[in-house]
Structure 1
Amino acid sequence: MKKWLTLFILASLLVISACGGNNKAESNASNSSSAGENTSNASDTITYQSENGPIEVPANPQRVLVLSSFAGNVMALDVNLVGVDSWSKNNPRFQEQLKGVEEVTDEDLEKIIELEPDLIIGLSNIKNVDKLKEIAPTVTYTYGKVDYLTQHLEIGKLLNKEKEAQAWVDDFKQRTQEAGEAIRAKIGEDATVTVVENFDKQLYVFGDNWGRGTEILYQEMKLNMPDKVKEMALADGYYALSAEVLPDFVGDYLIFSKYPETDFSFLETDTYNNMPAVKNNQVFEVDAREFYFNDPLTLDYQLEFFKESFLGKE
């Protein structure tokens, strides 16, 4: 159990971009000291104010390598990728865009050298940072330091595409809030929604900032979280539980993020099938591999999924 919990936490750290308990994108965007502004130079580089200090990066990067979490952010800004982490490479929704892009890890130094990246991006817990810096400018982000929208703005600044990133954030917030109003009007202001995922033989329930659509449902749409989820999952972002106690956590609606080739035997139990969300046909299932990110490409997909699930096809 400990082994799989450790693997799950590490996986989540690799696939979830930095999030905070509250959405601070607007305030951080206006604060250059905390958000980090690009300074244009006369040469082909810019100075990016990273969390570790200023760093010279290409003004127009052509061969970006992402070692954790941020491939969707880079693709959303139309910047070329030459290498990505396995989680991004195995995301079915990224298959077409990542065709021909190599799968790499922070230990594949020889392969990374061969790919000739001009910029490397990853989380602060990646290995071999000093060696990677010798290959190309390397920028890392600490998990949880900023919220998910501010994170996209930071990637935008790093890639010299801050305006494009800000435009997406503004549009996304408007679309999600409008959808939230329509959904609350249909299901009721007091209706509750739970997000659950199965990983190996363990179930997890999620708070409001751990991917899987939680940022949209709870932060932007202002949908309600069951009290038991608030109690156990809100602070840490997730909570491991058994199938036997699942009814204590599942609200009026259930978003079920499913990994393929995983044990689903609990779906046949009376405990599961007697839950009101199941009886009322208010369970919406998704492929976990497509749903655990919170980059713009995935967020747009999640938003359309929620609109169709709660409101029906237009």
Structure 2
Amino acid sequence: MKKLILSISILLVLILGACNSEATDTKESETKDEPTTITYQSEEGAVEVPADPKRVVVLSTYAGNVASLDVNLVGVDSWSKSNPGYDSYLADVEEVSEENLEKIIELDPDLIIGASTTQNLEKIKEIAPTVTFTYGKVDYLTQHLEIGKLLNKEKEAQAWIDDFKERSSVAGEEIKAVIGEDATVSVIENFDKQLYVFGDNWGRGTEVIYQAMGLNMPEKVKEMALDAGYYALSLEVLPEYAGDYMIFSKVADQDNSFQETDVYKNIPAVQNGKLFEANAEEFYFNDPISLDYQLEFFKESFLNSK
């Protein structure tokens, strides 16, 4: 009997050992099968990038796209760093620039993202795998999807896109029911003593207003700003570009004294309480973080306008 028990015990030990060995082998096999790099087809051709980037530097525009996909940032451009909408994402992230290569090197990035116009690109490419995008080459949703592909998070990017399209479409219909199907909306900004109006793809909430929600652009704005993205104009002609509703992307520390002029005060949207002021620093970009904020801003502003 003792011999039988002993034999069974030895058999169990051997079986358990084999199972553990198989599990270990399987785990090691799975680990070995996981790629450490992927190939991203950039505008400049194929670039080998980390499959799971841990230390990303963004030199222009796209910090919000990266942050929204829960990828760790170690350095971003000054415009992104000054956006209060990014505060919770960039609290411990360093400010960098394309001129200060030493700072970028110090951050030891494993991936760098920039614009096609970024300076010192050849030197920057020596620091880490570098991918650039041409602003406006693709629409804002496709841009986010491309960044998702670059970061090996295409599914997550597509999921947000699908959800945003649904939410913004519903919001557009709700807003049209309040302001009227034919109402027009213009977006203005004052920067460095110059007034601008914007088309449908230059941040400032224009993608949400015109593309996602389908609100109407004044004909004069369409004529002058749609193709270029923006148009500089004088205060005297601003009324010609004013829609039934106006969004003022306001830079607080700029000279906004034009708001005290009769020309401005007599614009019907201003007189009728159909002007909505937004913080320009939160309106510059068109990434998921910014777009979600802008969508909520517009819903609250338009739906409470009557």
Q: What TM-score comes out, normalization by structure 2 length?
A: 0.87
Distance in 2 (CA, whole Å) between partners of 1:96 and 1:153 is 23
Q: 1:173 corresponds to which residue?
A: 165
Distance in 1 (CA, whole Å) between partners of 2:203 and 2:138 is 14
Is structure 2 residue 105 aligned with structure 1 residue 90? Answer: no
Q: Secondary structure at the match of 2:126?
A: helix
The structural deviation recorded for 1:100 is: 1.8
Taking the TM superposition and a 5 Å limit, the aligned residue runs for 1:220-299 are: 220-299=212-291
Larger Rg: 2
Answer yes or no: is the 8 Å Cα contact 2:187–2:197 preserved in 1: yes
Taking the TM superposition and a 5 Å limit, the aligned residue runs for 1:151-162 are: 151-162=143-154
Answer yes or no: is the 8 Å Cα contact 2:187–2:204 preserved in 1: yes
Letter in 1 for 2:130: T
Number of equivalent positions: 273
Q: 1:204 corresponds to which residue?
A: 196
Is structure 2 residue 168 aligned with structure 1 residue 164? Answer: no
Q: 2:303 corresponds to which residue?
A: 311
Distance in 1 (CA, whole Å) between partners of 2:35 and 2:125 is 20
Q: Which has the higher contact order (CA 8 A, sep 6+)?
A: 1
Distance in 1 (CA, whole Å) between partners of 2:292 and 2:217 is 22
- Percentage identity across aligned positions? 72
Is structure 2 residue 32 aligned with structure 1 residue 77? Answer: no
Compute the RMSD of aligned alpha carbons.
1.2
Q: Secondary structure at the match of 1:139?
A: strand
Is structure 2 residue 153 aligned with structure 1 residue 126? Answer: no
Letter in 2 for 1:273: K
Q: 1:138 corresponds to which residue?
A: 130
Letter in 1 for 2:245: Y
Distance in 2 (CA, whole Å) between partners of 1:263 and 1:144 is 29
Taking the TM superposition and a 5 Å limit, the aligned residue runs for 1:25-36 are: none
Q: Secondary structure at the match of 1:254?
A: strand
- Identify unmatched segments of 5+ residues in structure 2: 1-32
Distance in 2 (CA, whole Å) between partners of 1:282 and 1:42 is 55
The structural deviation recorded for 1:42 is: 4.8
Q: Which shows bigger deviation, 214-223 or 74-83? A: 214-223
2:177 counterpart (185, 204, 207): 185
Q: 2:103 corresponds to which residue?
A: 111
Distance in 2 (CA, whole Å) between partners of 1:222 and 1:98 is 32
Letter in 2 for 1:202: Q
Q: What TM-score comes out, normalization by structure 1 length?
A: 0.85
| Greater per-residue helix proportion | 2
Letter in 2 for 1:113: I
Letter in 2 for 1:172: F
Distance in 1 (CA, whole Å) between partners of 2:168 and 2:34 is 39
